[in-house]
Chains A and B, each alone.
Chain A
Amino acid sequence: MRPIHFLPVAAFLLIVGAFSWYLLSGEDPRVIPSALIDKPVPEFELPALGEDIPGFSSADLAEGRVVLVNVFASWCAPCRVEHPFLSALAADGVPVYGIAYKDAPEDTRAFLAELGNPYERIGVDRDGRVGIDLGVYGVPETYVISGDGRIRHKHVGPILPTNEDGIRAAIRAAQRVSGR
Chain B
Amino acid sequence: MKRALLLFLLVLPLAAAAGVAVDETPLADPAAEAQARAIMREIRCLVCQNQSIEDSNADLARDLRRIVRERVAAGDDAAAVKAYLVARYGDWILLRPPFKPETFVLWLFPPALLAALAAYALVRARRRRLVAPPPLDAEERARLAAVLEEEGES
The smallest beta-carbon distance between A154 and chain B, in angstroms, is: 11
- B-contacting 9-mer, from A27-35, A85-93, A108-116: A27-35
- A-contacting 9-mer, from B4-12, B13-21, B81-89, B141-149: B81-89
- A-contacting 9-mer, from B28-36, B60-68, B126-134: B60-68
Question: By the criterion of a CB under 8 Å from any partner CB, how many residues of chain B are at the interface?
Answer: 15
Contact A137 B47 (CB under 8 A): yes
Mark out the residues of chain B between 67 and 95 whose CB falls within 8 Å of any chain A CB in the assembled complex: 67, 86-92
Q: Which of B47, B67, B87, B89 contacts A138 (CB 8 A)?
A: B47
- On whether A32 and B92 interact (CB within 8 A), knowing A132-B64, A137-B46, the answer reads yes
Contact B63 A135 (CB under 8 A): no
The smallest beta-carbon distance between A90 and chain B, in angstroms, is: 28
Q: Which of B47, B49, B88 contacts A135 (CB 8 A)?
A: B88
Contact B63 A132 (CB under 8 A): yes
The smallest beta-carbon distance between A100 and chain B, in angstroms, is: 16
Main secondary structure of the interface of B (DSSP, over half): helix
Chain A residue at minimal CB-CB distance from B88: A135
Contact A32 B89 (CB under 8 A): yes
Contact A33 B90 (CB under 8 A): yes
Q: Which of B47, B67, B86 contacts A132 (CB 8 A)?
A: B67
**Docked pose: A34 CA to B46 CA in angstroms:** 12
**Docked pose: A75 CA to B95 CA in angstroms:** 30
Question: By the criterion of a CB under 8 Å from any partner CB, how many residues of chain A are at the interface?
Answer: 17
Contact B67 A30 (CB under 8 A): no
**Docked pose: A34 CA to B86 CA in angstroms:** 10
| A46 interface residue per 8 A CB criterion | no
Chain B residue at minimal CB-CB distance from A34: B90
The smallest beta-carbon distance between A138 and chain B, in angstroms, is: 7
| A60 interface residue per 8 A CB criterion | no
- On whether A35 and B46 interact (CB within 8 A), knowing A128-B63, A132-B64, the answer reads no
Closest 9 CB pairs of A and B: A35-B90, A137-B46, A32-B92, A135-B88, A135-B89, A128-B63, A137-B60, A35-B89, A133-B88
- The 24 sampled A-B contact pairs (Cβ below 8 Å) are A30-B49, A32-B89, A32-B90, A32-B92, A33-B90, A33-B92, A34-B90, A35-B86, A35-B89, A35-B92, A36-B88, A42-B88, A102-B59, A127-B63, A128-B63, A132-B60, A132-B64, A132-B88, A134-B88, A135-B88, A135-B89, A137-B46, A137-B60, A138-B47
Listed in ascending order, the chain A residues whose CB lies under 8 Å from chain B are 30, 32-36, 42, 102, 127-129, 132-135, 137-138
* Further 15 A-B residue pairs, CB within 8 A, beyond A35-B86, A35-B87: A30-B49, A32-B46, A32-B89, A33-B90, A35-B88, A35-B89, A35-B92, A36-B88, A127-B63, A128-B60, A128-B63, A129-B63, A132-B64, A137-B47, A138-B46
